């Protein structure tokens, strides 16, 4: 029957002449209409085959270029209290561009940008081009002096170095003026991110399509791979269109995005956390962190020696030389020549993944050495060699913080990634020794202790867990005592370690299989641990079940501060995907709330340091940790300030515990 159903009938009496469907040329297929359809459906690979003009919009009729001071003065006089959108277009000489963002770590020079795009009505869309008659400083002065109560833009953080006035107002004596100006800004990228944190990127043409139903040309359509300033010098029309669309879409999408934030209950989160954070991150990026280049070089040399020694040891254990970095050659050595058990054959050879090798490491020294070799090789390439490429002429590294990448609300950093420095192995931790404060300063480092478990206690309302935290008990020993039914003082180190794995595993929705892998125990025993845990803390089980049920009903989870996390996997037809969605639903409200709290702490610490005229500055955030470059004479005051602001960042049923250390390098301070 199945074969009959799947067989194509080829003798149907069709009278249509298929030659009539033949296309005369590719031009008949790759039309403007087809381009718009592919763009709307986000068929990005197909778009590269088209050679048609970029999509046009009626707004283009009102794009105007302004080059004289008289024209500029006339236009600025038209601006009233209604929202005004802008976009700074930097010069090629003093900026780098990455995915449409400008990265600048030093104060911008006087004519730091090539143009300023503004939009404040359907007909008022302008590009001011700087030159002999129009100075960048004058344009920025007009921008801040205009009557508009809301200044709208995208990628604000990358533009802040050019906004000279607000940088000058950041001093303590002008704090109120600074806050007034800071509160005027609306960042469309951040707003779109809050509304859909799974998207990953939020370019102008996507915002236009998703929120306005408009098809407008994107960056690639108008600029290709060049910068705006480069295209401005070669093809002014395309550069004008790009810059003006950026301003126009920021202006036109503002009421829609703002209304959507209100409907989702995230307008307060946007105003009080995410928008002030843009300014904090900008300051942190410009501040940077100092690196001891000589110490970094020495660290790399030590790693090289250790790597060579391990190579020789592995060759001796294998009985021959081979490429340790080649999975294919390594698989042959381990599973064919040495006949190690549990080899998993793939299309390209034996799997040599960390998961496979870790199961063999305890019984086979060569495998343990290979895993150690991989760790050292990664440390050398990523940190010893990698960090050296980012040191500027002042001896500092300026990472780039990303606010609109992670689905949970956590910050990330790149170029370099300072949030991923290993802390579980000593050689990995040692890389922190090369990070040091300026001469005469020291580091003060504070981090939240067990913040996610404390949030679990608060959000679930479980009395036993709350009581354990309030009594400052060793939470893992307390859990072990209750779960394994032994007196608190008789809990063994192994029981405590197992309880710790259960505590943190529960926060991440761990399964019996996952826990069995973590603890190297049977799945039945792992399930017994989980069952016993939920019997001990019944409110946690109720909370997690309720959270998953609500997520299935609404399609999203929420943090205590209203941040949403869509979970499309919950409606998947695939069982494994649905299970993954349930684990995400359990963890997202907790991890997301922790992210919200550290952001609140960052804003409060940053603002107080400036407002109260400290020399010390917040320079780094890594998950639950804040690092302050501190003047020696301010050490005690900064420690008190950090602990006060971090502990009071949230009002919970259990206290937020903060641990603080100091040191003359990041290793000693952590």
pLDDT in tens, 235-270: 889 999 999 999 999 999 999 999 999 999 999 999
pLDDT in tens, 27-57: 666 666 666 666 667 676 666 566 555 556 6
Mean model confidence pLDDT for the chain: 89
CA pair distance 248, 107, nearest whole angstrom: 28
Against a cut of 0.85, is the pTM above it?
A: yes
CA dist 489 → 465, 479, 498, 500, 620 (Å): 18, 12, 16, 16, 39
- Which residues on neighbouring strands pair with residue 621, listed in sequence order? 626
Spatial CB neighbours of 443, under 8 Å, sequence gap ≥ 6: 436, 437, 627, 628, 629, 630, 662, 663, 664, 665, 666, 668, 669
Q: Based on the number of CB atoms within 10 Å of its own CB, is 540 exposed (0-12), middle (13-18) or buried (19 or more)?
A: buried
CATH fit for domain 453-593, picks 1.10.1270.20, 1.20.1420.20, 1.50.10.10, 1.10.150.20: 1.10.150.20
- pLDDT of residue 111 exceeding 80, the answer is no
At 617, give phi and psi (nearest 5°): -140, 145
CATH number for the domain whose boundaries are 426-451+595-669: 3.30.70.370
Residue 233: what pLDDT? 85
CATH superfamily of 58-288: Ribonuclease H-like superfamily/Ribonuclease H (3.30.420.10)
For residues 15 and 663, which has the higher predicted lDDT (pLDDT)?
663
**Apex 241 CA angle, 102 and 57, nearest 5:** 130
CA pair distance 199, 270, nearest whole angstrom: 18
* C-beta separation of 401 from 598 below 8 A: no
pLDDT in tens, 488-544: 999 999 999 988 988 888 888 888 888 888 888 888 988 988 898 899 999 999 999
CA pair distance 614, 487, nearest whole angstrom: 49
For residue 416, whether the previous peptide bond is cis, meaning omega lies within 30 degrees of 0, is: yes
Tokens of 541: 């089980």
pLDDT in tens, 334-356: 998 998 887 788 777 888 988 88
Tokens of 62: 């009102």
Residue 96: what pLDDT? 45
CATH number for the domain whose boundaries are 291-397: 1.20.1060.10
Residue 29: what pLDDT? 65
- Domain segments of the chain as ranges: 2-47, 58-288, 291-397, 426-451+595-669, 453-593
Tokens of 29: 């297929």
* DSSP at 379: I
Spatial CB neighbours of 120, under 8 Å, sequence gap ≥ 6: 78, 79, 80, 82, 83, 84, 85, 148, 251
* C-beta separation of 148 from 84 below 8 A: yes
Q: What share of the chain is helix, strand, coil (3-state, %, to 5)?
A: 55, 15, 30
């Amino acid at each position: 029957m199945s074969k009959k159903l799947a067989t194509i009938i080829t003798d149907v009496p069709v009278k249509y002449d298929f030659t009539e469907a033949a296309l005369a040329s590719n031009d008949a297929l790759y039309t403007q209409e087809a381009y718009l359809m592919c763009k709307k459906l986000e068929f990005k690979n197909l778009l590269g085959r088209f050679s048609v003009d970029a999509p046009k919009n009626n707004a283009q009729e009102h794009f105007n270029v302004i080059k004289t001071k008289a024209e500029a003065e006339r236009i600025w006089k038209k601006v009233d209290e209604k929202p005004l959108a802008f976009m700074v277009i930097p010069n090629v000489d003093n900026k780098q561009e990455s995915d449409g963002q400008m990265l600048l770590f030093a104060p911008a020079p006087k004519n730091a940008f090539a143009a300023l795009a503004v939009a404040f009505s359907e007909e008022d869309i302008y590009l001011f081009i700087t030159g002999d008659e129009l100075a960048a400083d004058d344009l920025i002065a007009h921008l801040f002096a205009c009557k508009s109560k809301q200044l709208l833009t995208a990628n604000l953080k990358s533009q802040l170095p050019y906004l000279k006035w607000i940088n000058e107002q950041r001093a303590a004596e002008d704090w109120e003026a600074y806050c007034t100006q800071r509160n005027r800004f609306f960042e469309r990228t951040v707003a779109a991110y809050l509304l859909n944190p799974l998207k990953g990127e939020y370019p102008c043409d996507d915002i236009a399509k998703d929120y306005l139903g408009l098809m407008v040309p994107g960056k690639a359509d108008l600029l290709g791979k060049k910068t705006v300033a480069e295209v401005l010098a070669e093809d002014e029309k395309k550069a004008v269109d790009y810059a003006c669309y950026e301003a126009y879409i920021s202006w036109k999408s503002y009421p829609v995005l703002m209304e959507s934030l209100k409907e989702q209950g995230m307008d307060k989160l946007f105003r009080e956390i995410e928008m002030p954070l843009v300014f904090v991150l900008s300051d942190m990026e410009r501040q940077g962190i100092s690196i001891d280049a000589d110490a970094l070089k020495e660290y790399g040399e030590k790693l090289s020696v250790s790597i060579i020694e391990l190579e020789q040891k592995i060759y001796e254990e294998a009985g021959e030389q081979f490429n340790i970095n080649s999975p294919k050659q390594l698989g042959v050595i381990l599973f064919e020549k040495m006949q190690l058990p549990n080899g998993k054959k793939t299309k390209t050879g034996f799997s040599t993944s960390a998961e496979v090798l870790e199961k063999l490491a305890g019984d086979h020294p060569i495998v343990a050495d290979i895993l150690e070799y991989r760790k050292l090789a990664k440390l050398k390439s990523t940190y010893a060699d990698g960090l050296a490429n980012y040191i500027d002429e002042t001896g500092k590294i300026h990472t780039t913080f990303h606010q609109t990448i992670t689905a949970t609300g956590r910050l990330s950093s790149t170029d370099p990634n300072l949030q991923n420095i290993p802390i579980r192995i000593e050689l990995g931790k040692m890389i922190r020794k090369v990070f040091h404060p300026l001469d005469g300063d020291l580091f003060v480092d504070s981090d939240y202790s067990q913040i996610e478990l404390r949030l679990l206690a608060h959000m679930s309302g479980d009395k036993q867990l709350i009581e354990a935290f309030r009594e400052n008990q060793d939470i893992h020993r307390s859990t072990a005592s209750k779960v394994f039914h032994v007196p608190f003082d008789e809990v063994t180190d192994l029981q405590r370690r197992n309880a710790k794995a259960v505590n943190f595993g529960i926060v991440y929705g761990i399964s019996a299989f996952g826990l069995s892998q973590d603890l190297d125990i049977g799945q039945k025993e792992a399930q017994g641990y989980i069952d016993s845990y939920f019997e001990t803390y019944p409110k946690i089980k109720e909370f997690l079940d309720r959270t998953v049920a609500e997520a299935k009903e609404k399609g999203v989870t929420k943090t205590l501060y209203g941040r949403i996390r869509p979970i499309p996997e919950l409606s998947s037809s695939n069982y494994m995907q649905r299970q993954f969605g349930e684990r995400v639903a359990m963890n997202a409200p907790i991890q997301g709330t922790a992210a919200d709290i550290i952001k609140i702490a960052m804003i409060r610490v940053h603002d107080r340091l400036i407002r109260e005229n400290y020399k010390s500055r917040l320079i780094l955030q890594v998950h639950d940790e804040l690092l302050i470059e501190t003047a020696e004479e301010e050490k005690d005051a900064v420690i008190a300030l950090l602990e006060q602001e971090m502990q009071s960042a949230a009002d919970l049923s259990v206290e937020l515990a903060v641990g603080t250390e100091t040191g003359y390098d990041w290793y000693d301070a952590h």
